[in-house]
Amino acid sequence: MPPSTLLAQSKEQVVITLPDQSVKTFDRPITAMQLATDIGASLAKATVGAIINGKIVDASTFITGNSTVSLITANSKEGLEIIRHSTAHLLAMATQQLYPGAQVTIGPVIENGFYYDFAYERPFTPEDLTKIELKMKELAKQNLAITRSVITKEEAVDKFTKLGEHYKVLIIKDLPDNEEISVYKQGDWMDLCRGPHVPSTKNLKVFKLERVAGAYWRGDSKNQMLSRIYGTAWANKDDLKQYIKIKEEEAKRDHRKLAKTLDLFHFQQESPGMVFWHPNGWTIYQQIKSYMRKVLDKAGYLEVNTPQIVDVSLWEKSGHWDKYDENMFTVTSEHREMAVKPMNCPCHVQIFNQGIKSYRDLPLRLAEFGSCHRNEASGALHGLARVRGFVQDDAHIFVEENQIQQEVSAFIDLLHKVYADFGFNSEKLIYKLSTRPEKRVGSEEIWDKAEEALAKSLNDKQLDWQKCPGEGAFYGPKLEFTLKDCIGREWQCGTIQVDFSMPQRLNAEYIGRDGEKHFPVMLHRAILGSFERFIAILIEHYAGELPLWLAPTQVVVMNISDNSEAWANKVYSELQNQGIRAKIDVRNEKIGFKIREHTLLKVPYMVIVGDKEAEQEIITLRLKSGENQGSMSIQNLCSMLQSESNMVL
């Protein structure tokens, strides 16, 4: 007799405590779905799973003994994840029905959706996706019950071998012998899965397949290339419509597309993941660097510069080689193995170690616009957002233990200023404190002090923050700062991390107030993260229409006729003399054509001069939005542009 039947016939009394602390008592075990039905038909209809004693399970799971139970509905975060996981299974079922011979591999939930990887004789196409999505809708309407069963490892290998599922067999064989193996079945189709899943395919109503891409089996380029089909699923149609609207807006703002239109940068196969900056893009880059240099100088940072290539022995001492060697580029020189630096911290310790340091020298703030290289997987590269060569606004602060809180507090103030200057609302920042992991260095007392200092820095500023237990680095806790752009997307940029380990590993010492040698605490911090990724964020946040101080070209001067060309050239020269980034367009084209062209190039201001302007030695100013600002002198124009451009500097 199946265990579920035995449970159903059991006379054991069941006391269930619900989230509102109300209690329901039953004279035998019942399923979560039966509990939902007992509470109300509408709740049962919305239920897709349950949380029983803290564990997320299927709605068909029996509740035994005294238990705390929360029912999961489609509109909850947990419910949405279950729906997406189940929709991935629906995708796999539809695909295998339409394309016999396609093997399933893995199909996880991801942000806003899911994907499933397939091994097939050819890559899937967008046309295939249309057919698969129609088949998914057909299967969903069939109201196929989704059931779970537990089998042995041997049974699982046998079942999937008979089905010809080579990749599933490999996955099963890699599982521990004592691990519970569950399979889910819908109709005559089944898949290996931990679950949980929705009760029936009828719960899967709102989904859309988005794209297909290539992916290597287990992420290894030496393995077979698979077809990865991405999709999204939601609890209701309105949420899907909103998601599609945001995706369309994202596509318009894609920094890779705008880079072509605005002539900012490009990539090519001869140097994958490395940026070829064009004059326009490099101007943006240099403006940001100049701004950050001034901000850091005012905040008491000392700028340094360290070598690009360093002997592997330093990375071994710092601990990076054991954990990060696969992501490091190496070269051999004079029979020595050297590594291109993936981060700056060990090199900054070398500067700290030059000469004797005293507690009077602390805090010591060393900043570097450090060029770093990491051997990211080719499939992970994504425009400026994920590259192999990048520059960080990196800094390391060497402090005494009792200085941690004041330095973190000052850093938060600095971060708020920088984000505000770039146009991001500090009130929408997300703050996270990651605390000690199981494996760590340093005493409990030091960890207590560091975590309390970070929390106090946030609390003193009355900031709402999230605690992430166990997510700190082995060498210390950290704060993460996530900003939101104008369409609500979240970008984790700033960090400050407390490090007890590296100063000790690299013999960094200072003479304390007691005359004895001590190891400083090292604070790793960045505000932008990397220049490349932050520029990608800026381009997408502003849809390419950067504020005046960042715009590659701040103003373009255009003449209406040949008679006004000389005056246009004089205006252009004066703008350049005043340090304003200007261009001139005196082509023999109609003024309307010129205006449209420079509007598409998103130039903030357009200066138009015709016969009247030339005669009166004035200019007419026009915004890229089309608004006419009227006439003014060159002097007033320069003052206005300089004032606006210098607002954040």
In the CATH hierarchy, which top-level class contains the domain 555-645? alpha beta
Tokens 């991801």 label which residue? 110
- Are 481 and 431 contacting, i.e. CB atoms less than 8 angstroms apart? yes
DSSP tag of 298: H
For residues 203 and 79, give the distance between their C-alpha atoms in angstroms, rounded to a whole number. Answer: 11
> Helices then strands (H, E): number in the chain?
21, 35
* pLDDT at 334 (0 to 100): 77
Q: CATH 3.30.980.10 residue ranges in the chain?
A: 78-251
pLDDT at residue 421 in the model: 95
In the chain, CATH 3.10.20.30 sits at: 3-73
Name beta bridge partners: 63.
30
- 1 pLDDT exceeds 50? no
- Using CA atoms, how far residue 145 sits from 73, 86, 188, 196, in Å, is 18, 12, 11, 13
When mean pLDDT is compared across 2-16, 400-414, 471-485, 601-615, the lowest value belongs to: 2-16
Q: How crowded is the C-beta side of 321, counted as CA atoms within 13 Å? A: 15
State the catalytic residue, choosing from 524, 533, 594, 602. 524
The H or E element spanning position 255 is helix 255-262
The catalytic residue among 85, 148, 357, 478 is 478
Per the model's pLDDT, the better-predicted residue between 376 and 536 turns out to be: 536
Residue with tokens 């026009």: 622
286 assigned to active site: no
pLDDT at 333 over 80: no
Per the structure block, which two tokens stand in for 616? Answer: 């009166």
pLDDT for the residue 178 = 81
The predicted-structure confidence for 237-246, as pLDDT tens digits, reads as follows 999 999 999 9
Whether residue 346 has a cis bond before it, omega within 30° of 0: no
d(Cα 369, Cα 303) in Å, to the nearest integer? Answer: 8
Q: Which amino acid, one-letter code, is at 115?
A: Y
Q: What pLDDT shows up at residue 424?
A: 93
The predicted-structure confidence for 171-199, as pLDDT tens digits, reads as follows: 999 988 888 899 999 999 999 999 899 99
Portions of the chain given CATH number 3.40.50.800: 555-645
The C-alpha atoms of residue 81 and residue 84 are separated, in whole angstroms, by 5
pLDDT at 7: 56
Phi-psi domain of 317 (left: phi exceeds 0; alpha: psi -120 through 50; beta: other) = alpha
Whether the CA torsion 374, 490, 404, 290 is positive or negative: it is positive
d(Cα 457, Cα 415) in Å, to the nearest integer? 13
Question: Which CATH number applies to 3-73?
Answer: 3.10.20.30
- The band of 35, judged by pLDDT with boundaries at 50, 70 and 90, is very high
**For position 480, what pLDDT does the model report?**
95
Q: Is 228 designated active site? A: no
C-alpha distances out from residue 173 to 100, 118, 138, 152, 583, Å: 24, 19, 34, 12, 66
Q: 320 an active-site residue?
A: no
pLDDT digit string, tens, across residues 307-324:
999 999 999 898 888 877
Residues of the chain with CATH 3.30.930.10: 288-306+342-541
pLDDT bucket at 3, cuts 50 / 70 / 90: low
User: With bands split at pLDDT 50, 70 and 90, how would you rate the model's confidence at 4?
Assistant: low
Q: What pLDDT sits at residue 320?
A: 85
Q: Is position 524 annotated as part of the catalytic site?
A: yes
Place of tokens 């950067």: 546
Q: Report which of residues 440 and 544 the model is more confident about.
A: 544
Catalytic residue among 253, 396, 436, 598: 396
Cis, peptide link before residue 604, omega less than 30° from 0: no
- CA atoms of 645 and 547, how far apart (whole Å): 8
pLDDT at residue 597 greater than cutoff 80: yes
Catalytic residue among 96, 392, 405, 554: 392
Residue 333: CB atoms within 10 A of its CB come to: 9
> Helix, strand, coil shares of the chain as percentages rounded to 5?
40, 30, 30
Alpha-carbon span 526 to 481, nearest angstrom: 10
Per-residue pLDDT, 449: 87
Averaged pLDDT for residues 416-437: 92
- Under CATH, domain 288-306+342-541 is a member of which superfamily? Bira Bifunctional Protein; Domain 2 (3.30.930.10)
Is residue 122 annotated as a catalytic residue, yes or no? Answer: no
DSSP H helices in 109-235:
126-141, 153-162, 166-173
Mean pLDDT of 259-271: 95
392 a catalytic residue: yes
Q: pLDDT value at position 9?
A: 55
Percentage above 70 pLDDT, the chain? 98
Catalytic site residue from 58, 394, 499, 585: 394
Examine the residue annotation and report whether 396 is marked as an active-site residue of this protein. yes
Backbone angles phi, psi at 212, to 5 degrees: -125, 145
pLDDT at 580 over 50: yes
Q: What is the pLDDT of residues 270-304, one digit of tens each?
A: 999 999 999 999 999 999 999 999 999 999 999 99
CATH of domain 78-251: 3.30.980.10
Task: State the SS3 of 367-419.
Answer: EEEEEEECCCCHHHCECCCECCEEEEEEEEEEECHHHHHHHHHHHHHHHHHHH
Q: What is residue 144's predicted lDDT score, i.e. its pLDDT? A: 96
Amino acid letter, residue 143: N
- Answer whether residue 584 shows pLDDT above 50: yes
Mean of the per-residue pLDDT values of the chain: 92
Q: Is a pLDDT exceeding 90 seen at residue 379? A: no
- 302-303/276-277 β-pairing: unpaired
* Relative orientation angle of helices 404-421 and 279-298, to the nearest 10 degrees: 140
User: Can you give the pLDDT at residue 539?
Assistant: 97
| Positive/negative CA dihedral, 418, 419, 421, 425 | negative
Average pLDDT over residues 529-546: 96
Which residue of the set 168, 374, 525, 533 is catalytic? 374
pLDDT given for residue 459 in this prediction: 94
Quickly list H helices, 374-530: 404-421, 444-460, 502-505
